[in-house]
Structure 1
Amino acid sequence: MNAPSDRIVLSIATVLLVAGIVFVYSASAEFASVRLGDAERLVVNHTVRVALSLGLMLLLSRVDYHIFEQISRPLLVLSLVLLAFVLVQGTQLKGAVRWLDLAGMSLQPSELAKFALLFHLAVRMSQLDVELWDWKRGLLPLIGWATLVVGAIALQPNLSTAALIFSLVMILLFVGGARLAHLSVIAAIGLVAVALYAVGADYRVQRIATYLGSNSNADDSYQLQQALIGFARGGIVGVGPGQSRQRDLFLPESYGDFIAAIIGEEYGVVGILLLLAAYAAIVVRGIRIAVRAPDTLGYLLAWSVTIAIGFYALVHVAVNCGLLPTTGIPLPLVSYGGSSIVFTASALGVLLNISRQANRTEVPYA
């Protein structure tokens, strides 16, 4: 007997993907018209990716999530190979090498690596014949995999994504039963490494100084200032769909890393609150699916998807509001970018399959 997937998660994800088309068009039309000669160029590309993402989400919602017991390691190895290849043959943009051009398509391997790592850790934790509190046999091998992925991403350089993935790993290990004392030591080492790496390049130091308010260089804080102007113009209810001024070549990355600022300008505080409510609902339902999962693997996979989407959404909005240093973090399911929406929607398909099996068995995880 087929059981339904979580309709709330499916509905919200679909609404975000479709609404993202509207947001991306509004945020990108002026840029695409001036720089590419076609106002609809980017939104057409994005729409194709949304359609692909919806298809993959629905397909994976019907694929037994236990398949990751066989494919999680190959996926992780593949992602590491792609990350290594990026460092050798990747496409450079704004001083960073994060993309691969494959048959005319752009792929960001870090998006695959994020879920490949979390899923493999979930599989390994569900299979361990020792508890995670066993440092040498339980926890250390998992940290080894995480270090490889995080290190490869940091070398691109992409410190923000590396730090976020490291944070997600810490949360997943805690949920999986690792000792807080062990995680505290690992987190302390990670924070020291991030701090040393952050001060190793002038542009990262400038971003931190801008965030702390000690950098008076207007050029370094330009992007954040333009984002805040957008929020200020939006007020409570916004200036209306398609009426943003900041998208008119004032705000760089207005359709990607700073799309929340355009949403805030056009739909106001109300729009941002509704957006956050949508992600909060996914997180709440995701935790519910995890708790009701038929087994440990489903429990950990559900947590992996849930924390990744919730954490990325929160960080994106916080960066756009100036609450965190400026970083290149997309808004899940909404920002322009094929790799992000395709892999995020695919991961949601896995979450939906877990909910389907939980509904069928009616045996909650304990």
Structure 2
Amino acid sequence: MRSLVSFKNIKKSYDGEKLVVRNLNLDVQEGEFLTLLGPSGSGKTTSLMMLAGFETPTDGEIFLRDRPLHILPPHQRDIGMVFQNYALFPHMTVAENLAFPLSIRRMSRFDIKQRVARILDMVKLTPLADRYPAQMSGGQQQRVALARALVFEPKLVLMDEPLGALDKQLREHMQLEIKQLHELLGLTIVYVTHDQSEAMTLSDRVAVFNDGVIQQMDSPGKLYEQPANAFVAQFIGENNSLLATQISASGDYYRVRLDDGSELDALKVRPSSPGKKIQLSIRPERINVNAPQQGDEQIKARVQQFIYLGDHVRMLTEVAGQGNFMVKLSPDKMDGRWQAGSEVMLSWQPQHLRALDVVLQ
């Protein structure tokens, strides 16, 4: 697949000292949906704003195909932009808002009328063409903002937390609409969010940012199943962490010891050496209770509490002196004899327990 956008050794500092973005090297493939995901201050929005042209890199270069992009003003970059606050012109109707980016590109009135009609139909807004933004709901305004970013058929569409102001149900509906438009029009989309479930739903790939650095960039499935470090494991989905000491290594596994003396095998992910404290990670749904399979690792646990959530039950346990170790179970796997204080046996396949970052002491 061909790269549409390339960040080459991009750095950004606002004060000349602290780097908000550090040595960013990133290729966005043509036609893909790439999400920049991370907590506030991680560098994801700054990276998007440099791509849009609203921020200037301190160092490095950005290319759209083979054309240097960082030297062009925003209006010459042929990029569509959707903001969280919609940024619609309040004195213009929906149709006039959509016509504006076409008129500044000096398109003919006939072509503008055709383009606007086509995009209105695509986002199901034709009946609202003569309304003003103040006469519309938040979801309708967001649909107009999306249509305005698409109407001039840009090579690239950037979205900065576009659904952050919507309620949960409407946000999920708009996620599906954006995904369908991406596939229908063959768009290349770079999307920024701090909502990991939104990133997992929409994206072909997700770049997880922290402290100005991409921690891991992968498909949603790989990020969840194969987190590269403790930050990604904790940030993506629900996760259990255990502290242990590495005692030996064999093949693809470390042998580790927990604080209560229990020994387990954990899949090698990050470098370690004997005697080092290491953080282990396992997903709650990978754990069985009192139902070990052949080859499973097993460990005793004490039940702390149950949280019933309809489609599943979260059982919080204490393992090797570490509390809130979560197991996700379907309701039919629950045993009526279990209660707070009960002792149970937890088990899992060795490859699901991942040895991640060495803990600095």
Same fold (TM over 0.5): no
Higher strand share: 2
- Which of structures 1 and 2 has the larger relative contact order (alpha carbons within 8 angstroms, sep 6+)? 1
Greater Rg over alpha carbons, structure: 2
TM-score (norm 2): 0.21
TM-score (norm 1): 0.21
Higher helix share: 1
